[in-house]
A and B are shown apart, each in its own frame.
Chain A
Amino acid sequence: MKTALKFENIYRSFKNHFWQKKKEVLKNISLEIYQGEIFGFLGPNGAGKTTTLKILTGLLKPDSGNVTIFGHNVDSMEAKKRIGFLPESPYFYEHLTGYEFLKIHALLGNYTNCKKRVYELLDIVGLKDANALPLRKYSRGMLQRIGIAQTMITDPDLFILDEPLGGLDPIGRKEIKDLLIEQKTRGKTIFFSSHILPDAEAVCDRVGIIINGEIVEVGELDKLLKRGVKTDEISLEDWFVGKIKKNHA
């Protein structure tokens, strides 16, 4: 299998104030995501999921280690051309309409002939009727959907999504999950973080668990769930909670 993205021995620490001691947020993160898979990056709050995603998108730099996307450095144009990123709880330019927002992102992604593409995407995410509405009038679920549309605008090979299912109602979650699966069938790679474990369970090929800045498990979902348990009926949620408790013990 070809590698889509690769983390090699990533360390990252922060200090809130100059007089405080640095706190290590990521400790020796090494991870390989393969082309065409949906990878769920799971962990409790403050585990380091968002920091990892920010390093992956070049918003933060690691203290040490290396991250590549399709073999390119994350800061390179080659890497940026191939990703679509949705930040956690996205806030978009409120003064823009849905159409204007997607058009600007299409231009930023070097997609010049964009009108048809923008309407196509508005239709896919169910916002065609809201295309002329300013984003400040969008609900949380609508914002999440326009955010997903913005990741798809340049038809990237790798989707990096931070909590893509957050703030969505069950129908919205179903629609986004279907979209992710559809992208996978088109050969796209999806790397996403989530707290909503049943949803991750429904779409992921593999998951990675991060706790206190360290990857504690990576693997195919079925194998992880079966390992060390007597029944096949255990859910990802039960397994995940058990893993966290064990790690804290």
Chain B
Amino acid sequence: MHRIWAIVENTFKESLRQRILMLLIIFSVLVIVVSVFLEPFALGEAPKILRDFGIAAASLFGVLIVIIIGSTLIHKDIEKRTIYTVITKPVKRSEIIIGKFLGLLLLIAILQCAMIVIHQLVIFIYEGSFDLPLFITIPFSLLEIMILLGILLLFSSFSSPTISAIMGIIFFVIGHASPDLKLFADQVNVAILKYLAYGFYYILPNLENFNLRIDLVYKLPIHLDQLLFSICYGLIYTIFLLYVSIIIFEKREFK
């Protein structure tokens, strides 16, 4: 366990020292600026817009960090040859993948918490009370981040950072268009397109499973079975991605 922890610690420190905290400052400024300038134009909808914007921005910043850092996480180690001294220690290659995954996830989790706390403070300043149910967005946003990080690690284990980053963005966009893909599959009449659309719908990750923004902003009821399904879906999908990444990474040579 301490071997994985050593890699978690290293990945965390390495990522933290990439001036990532600047993104947190940008987030804080954005939320405050939007809150101040939006109110006169919001026609009484300011509380909803403030919540909607805050949740969306926190989630988007998390995705941004995971794509920027996640796509280079393994490649940089290989390119700079820093992985040589790690991989020749009595450590399994699976432990390296898991350690890197957990290290970056830990950093993003802390940043997500910090962003939601800043968001809560802004809500408190404007409304005189906190909106604590918004904290539930953190674990679900992290489940989405876990899947994206799994995809980035999978592509990083055999391709370049650019390809990994592009694939991360493609999966993010398609993942959020998943309900539309289902709708298209239901309505299209051409058989081959129907099967293709259904195929993509079931194979590609449905990231909308983790989007609770509308439910929280409009205070819609959130069902426990829906949450449990999303948690299981996120965990199983992530474990599958990590498993495939490990298999590829174990066969990789370092020329």
Q: How far is the CA of A109 from the CA of B254 in the complex (A)?
A: 20
Q: Which residue of B lies closest to A56 (CB)?
A: B88
- Are B87 and A59 in touch, CB under 8 angstroms? yes
* Cβ of A139 under 8 Å from chain B: no
Residues of B within 8 A of A86 (CB): 85
B223 at the interface (CB under 8 A from A): no
Are the C-beta atoms of A108 and B81 separated by less than 8 Å? no
User: In the complex, which residue of chain B has the Cβ closest to the Cβ of A108?
Assistant: B89
Q: Which residues on the B side are within 8 Å of A54 (C-beta)?
A: 254-255
Contact assessment for A93 and B88 in the assembled complex, using a CB-CB cutoff below 8 Å: no
Kindly identify, within residues 82 to 132 of chain A, every residue whose CB is under 8 Å from any CB belonging to chain B: 83, 85-87, 89-93, 95-96, 100, 103-105, 107-110, 112
Q: Are A110 and B3 in contact (CB under 8 A)?
A: yes
Residues of B within 8 A of A57 (CB): 84, 88
Q: Which residue of A lies closest to B18 (CB)?
A: A95
- Known contacts: A87-B84, A95-B17, A107-B6. The answer to whether A60 contacts B253 by CB under 8 A is yes
Contacts A105-B85, A147-B85: A77 and B6 contacting too (C-beta < 8 A)? no
Closest approach, in angstroms, between the C-beta of A58 and any C-beta of chain B? 7
The proximity string for B residues 70-99 relative to A, scoring 1 for CB distances below 8 Å and 0 otherwise, is 000000000011101111111110000000
Q: In the complex, identify which listed stretch (B8-16, B111-119, B125-133) lies at the interface while the others stay far away.
A: B8-16
List the A side residues contacting B219 at CB < 8 Å: none
Most buried by B among A104, A109, A110: A104
Q: Which residues of A contact B27 (CB under 8 A)?
A: none
Instruction: Report if A14 contacts B (CB, 8 A).
Output: yes
Q: Counting CB contacts under 8 A, is A81 at the interface?
A: yes
A93 CA to B16 CA, complexed, in Å: 13
B17 to chain A: closest CB distance in Å? Answer: 4
Q: Are A150 and B85 in contact (CB under 8 A)?
A: yes
Chain B interface residue count: which class?
A: 20 to 34
**Interfacial residues, chain A to chain B (CB-CB below 8 A):** 14, 54, 57-61, 77, 80-81, 83, 85-87, 89-93, 95-96, 100, 103-105, 107-110, 112, 147, 150, 154
Q: Quick check: B81 and A93 within 8 Å, CB to CB? A: no
List the A side residues contacting B198 at CB < 8 Å.
Answer: none
**Number of A-B residue pairs having CB atoms within 8 Å of each other in the complex:** 78
In the complex, what residues of A have CB within 8 A of residue B92's CB? 77
- Contacting residues, chain B, for A92 (C-beta < 8 A): 82, 85
Known: A59-B253, A87-B85, A92-B82. A107 touches B3 (CB 8 A): yes
B5 contacts chain A at the CB level, 8 A cutoff: yes
Query: With contacts A80-B89, A87-B84, A87-B85 known, is A104 near B9, CB below 8 A?
Result: yes
Q: How far is A221 from B52 in the complex, measured between Cα atoms in Å? A: 76
Alpha-carbon separation in the docked complex, A161 to B6 (Å): 23
Judging by beta carbons under 8 Å apart, are B6 and A108 in contact?
yes
When C-beta atoms are compared, the residue in chain B nearest to A147 turns out to be B85
**In the complex, chain B residues whose CB is within 8 Å of the CB of A112:** 2
Q: Name 18 A/B residue pairs within 8 A (Cβ), A-sorted.
A: A57-B84, A80-B89, A80-B90, A81-B90, A83-B88, A87-B81, A92-B85, A95-B17, A104-B7, A105-B85, A105-B89, A108-B3, A108-B7, A108-B86, A108-B90, A108-B91, A109-B89, A110-B90
Q: Are A14 and B89 in contact (CB under 8 A)?
A: no
In the bound complex, CA of A85 to CA of B89 (Å) = 8
Beta-carbon contact of A58 and B85 below 8 Å: no
User: A30 CA to B10 CA in the complex, in Å?
Assistant: 38
In the assembled complex, how far is the CB of residue B248 from the closest CB belonging to chain A, in whole angstroms?
15
Residues of A within 8 A of B86 (CB): 105, 108
Contact with A along B140-173 (1 / 0, CB 8 A): 0000000000000000000000000000000000
Complex: A154 Cα to B91 Cα, angstroms: 13
Name B96's closest neighbour in chain A (CB-CB).
Answer: A108
Q: Separation in Å of the A192 CB from the closest CB of chain B?
A: 15
Listed from nearest, the 8 A-B pairs whose CB atoms lie closest are A107-B6, A108-B89, A85-B88, A80-B90, A59-B254, A87-B84, A95-B17, A81-B90
Q: B5, A107: Cβ atoms under 8 Å?
A: yes
B10 touches A104 (CB 8 A): yes
With beta carbons under 8 angstroms apart, the residue of B2, B13, B17 that contacts A107 is B2
User: Once bound together, how far apart are the Cα atoms of A147 and B81, in whole Å?
Assistant: 13
Specify which chain B residues have a CB less than 8 angstroms from the CB of A60 in the assembled complex. 253-255
Residues of A within 8 A of B255 (CB): 14, 54, 60
Instruction: Judge whether A85 and B13 touch: CB under 8 Å.
Output: no
Contacts of B7 in A (CB 8 A): 104, 108
Interchain CB contact under 8 A, B2 and A58: no
Q: Given contacts A59-B253, A108-B86, are A91 and B80 in contact (CB under 8 A)?
A: yes
